[in-house]
Amino acid sequence: MKFRVERDVLAEAVTWVARGLPARPPVPVLAGVLIQADEEGSLTLSAFDYEVSAKVTIPADVAEAGTVLVLGRLLADISRNLPNRPIDVEADGTKVNVTCGSSRFSLREMPVAEYPTLPVAPDLSGTIAGDVFTQAVAQVAIAADRGDTLPILTGVRMEIDGEKVTLLATDRYRLAMRELTWNPSATDASHVALIPARQLSDTAKALGAAGSVELALGNGSDGLVGFEAGRRRTTTRLLDGEYPKVTSIFPSSVDTEAVIETAALEEAVKRVALVAERNTPVLLKFTDGQVFIEAGTGDDAQASEALESTLTGPEIQIAFNPQFLLDGLHAVGTAYSRLSFTQPSRPAVLTGQAEVDSEADSSYRYVLMPVRFAS
């Protein structure tokens, strides 16, 4: 195998493919990136760890077709740090030589025969706008569980009904739900998939810059979901199990609503939370025209701040985990945020709106469980 490729093209491709390679692979070959050179002038780079696969095709000047397997992270580091000149790669016995200007590296070739066959993605199910996909996943994935006590809660539940897509995630302390539309291959499309949140987030960030992203969900029996944008393709193994029916957590009625400038509230909570020790809440006191934000009690450090807000309904005091509240404010993506309450001990709902007096955008809802504030 022998080919020449532009430095930036190779560096970007290898970095993307190798981004999910395990630091301690169960089998040594899983630390590798498979490079297949085609005489028609293309390189296909692949990586697979039995859970996630990634594949990208890039143009190259191929003098001799062939396939090699080399350490992915090492090749990514090398290609990123080479001078901005064409890179020549040639297989030589048990070595793969990488040359760029006067820089020369010799990498150990790993056994291609031991490398597993990459999974085949299901049939195309439809397409979704790249920017919408990226934002929606980011808004929901923040609420997925990061522990391993309940593996099913580490996923994002994707439900598709015709043109409607609903993304849902919870860690039992908060819940995020985003509704959006897409372009299904069939008008009666119906799918339910539980996708690992971390892999879904990585995929959305990597592919969302494209104009549109293709989703391949198949019939669910193959246990895979596929994504494709441009020349990048990836598959992720779905989580098994029945996701809990958590939508019942949404309050059926609202007694009090407050509208606040999102950025102002986010910055104020950040400042006040500086005195909040680990796992201690911030208290929000909503009165007519203002919200007071407080943290710290007794002899400990204390902080408070007041912001302008618009209140509808009775005054209320409620406390939240500051990081969970900040996650929701950061994700809402609108100039103003609306907080809807029933009682201080009941979940609150955060939604966004463009103007202080406009309607709330219910396509994204972030539910927060309150916490007890020791006075």
Q: What is the dihedral of CA 65, 66, 72, 78, to 10 degrees?
A: -50
For residue 291, the one-letter residue type is V
Residues 223, 179 share a domain: yes
**CATH number, domain containing residue 364:** 3.10.150.10
Question: CA 246, 319, 355, 274 torsion: positive or negative?
Answer: negative
Helix and strand numbers, DSSP H then E, in the chain:
6, 27
Residue 182 shares a structural domain with residue 295: no
In the chain, how long is the greatest CA-to-CA distance? 78
Answer yes or no: is 65 within a domain: yes
Q: Tens digits of per-residue pLDDT, 219-270?
A: 655 789 999 998 999 999 999 988 999 888 888 889 999 999 999 999 999 9
Q: Identify whether 120 is part of a domain.
A: no
DSSP secondary-structure letter at 43? E
- Contacts (Cβ under 8 Å, ≥6 apart) of 271: 303, 305
Segment 278-297, tens digit of pLDDT: 778 999 999 999 999 999 87
C-alpha distances in angstroms, 205 versus 167, 210, 262, 317? 16, 10, 24, 37
Whole-number Cα distances in Å, 138 to 30, 98, 244, 301, 328: 28, 38, 21, 34, 11
Residues 133 and 243 in one domain: yes
* pLDDT grade for 218, boundaries at 50, 70 and 90: confident
322 pLDDT above the threshold of 80 = yes
Please name the residues in contact with 38: beta carbons below 8 A apart, sequence gap of 6 or more: 44, 62, 65
- Is residue 280 domain-shared with residue 345, that is, in the same domain? yes
Distance from C-alpha of 361 to C-alpha of 147, rounded to nearest angstrom: 31
Residue 154 lies in a domain: yes
DSSP code of 17? H
Query: How is 217-274 classified by DSSP, letter by letter?
Result: -TTSTT-EEEEEETTEEEEEEPPPSPPP-GGGGS-S--SEEEEEEHHHHHHHHHHHGG
In a domain, 218, yes or no: yes
Residue that is last in its domain, among 196, 221, 247: 247
Q: Strand, coil or helix: what is 81?
A: helix
Of how many residues is the chain composed?
375
Residues 103 and 159 in one domain: no
Q: Which helix (H) or strand (E) holds 48?
A: strand 42-48
Q: Encode 362-373: b = buried (16+ Cβ within 10 Å), e = exposed.
A: eebbbbbbbbeb
Q: Average pLDDT in the 127-138 region?
A: 96
147 and 169 fall within a common domain:
yes
User: Is residue 121 in some structural domain?
Assistant: no
Same domain, 353 and 256: yes
Decide if 98 contacts 88 (C-beta within 8 A). Answer: yes
Instruction: Say whether both 255 and 361 belong to one domain.
Output: yes
| Averaged pLDDT, 140-152 | 92
Tell me whether residue 289 is in a domain. Answer: yes
Same domain, 130 and 243: yes
- In 226-248, which positions are buried (b, 16+ CB within 10 angstroms) versus exposed (e)? bbbbeebbbbbbbbeeebeebee
Residue 363, pLDDT above cutoff 90: yes
**Global pTM exceeds 0.85:** yes
Mode of pairing for the β-strands spanning 174-181 and 361-368: antiparallel
Residue 50 neighbours by CB distance under 10 Å: 13
Q: What is the count of structural domains for the chain?
A: 3
Across 70-74, 117-121, 367-371, least confident range: 117-121
Find the helix or strand (DSSP H, E) in which 325 lies: helix 322-332
The residue from 190, 221, 247 where one domain ends is: 247
Same domain? 312 vs 333: yes
User: Distance between CA 91 and CA 27 in Å, rounded?
Assistant: 23
Grade residue 375 by pLDDT with cuts at 50, 70 and 90: low
User: DSSP per residue over 337-358, as a string?
Assistant: EEEEES-TTS-EEEEEESSTTS
Mean pLDDT along residues 87-92: 96
Q: Which residues are within 8 A (CB) of 364 and not within 5 positions of it... i.e. 6 or more apart?
A: 139, 176, 177, 178, 179, 331, 332, 333, 351, 352
Q: Alpha carbon 233 to chain centroid distance?
A: 16
Question: What are phi and psi for residue 96, nearest 5 degrees?
Answer: -120, 115
Q: Which of 228, 247, 266 is the last residue of a domain?
A: 247
Is 375 a member of any domain?
A: no
Kindly tell me if the per-residue pLDDT of 210 is higher than 90. Answer: no
78 domain-assigned: yes
Statement to judge: residues 222 and 328 lie in one domain: no
pLDDT digits (tens, 9 = 90+) for 32-65: 999 999 999 999 999 999 999 999 999 999 999 9
Crossing angle of helices 130-141 and 322-332, in 10° steps, is 170
Contact 360, 285 (CB under 8 A): no
176 & 65 share domain:
no
Q: Which domain holds residue 54?
A: 2-114
